[in-house]
Amino acid sequence: MRLLAQGLTNAEIAARLVVSVRTVDNHVRAVLDKLDAPTRRHAAARAEELGLLREGET
């Protein structure tokens, strides 16, 4: 979610995490569904509202 919120493309996220772009596609789709967000930008805003982007919290 943090990488998504930073505006990285799926290809850029895949390269950073050393996974396939298809894997990232599937995870991004799941995140959008879970957050009921139509776009990546909406997902990032929703994650921020929910406190999911705060550093150091689990």
Q: What is the mean pLDDT of residues 27-51?
A: 95
- Is the pLDDT assigned to residue 58 strictly greater than 50? no
Return the percentage of the chain with pLDDT > 70, whole number.
Answer: 95
- Least Cα distance to 53 among 29, 16, 44, 10 occurs for 44
Report d(CA 28, CA 18) in Å as an integer: 15
Return the percentage of the chain with pLDDT > 90, whole number.
Answer: 88
pLDDT tens digits, 9-20: 999 999 999 999
Instruction: For residue 30, give Cα distances in angstroms to 21, 35, 56.
Output: 14, 9, 23
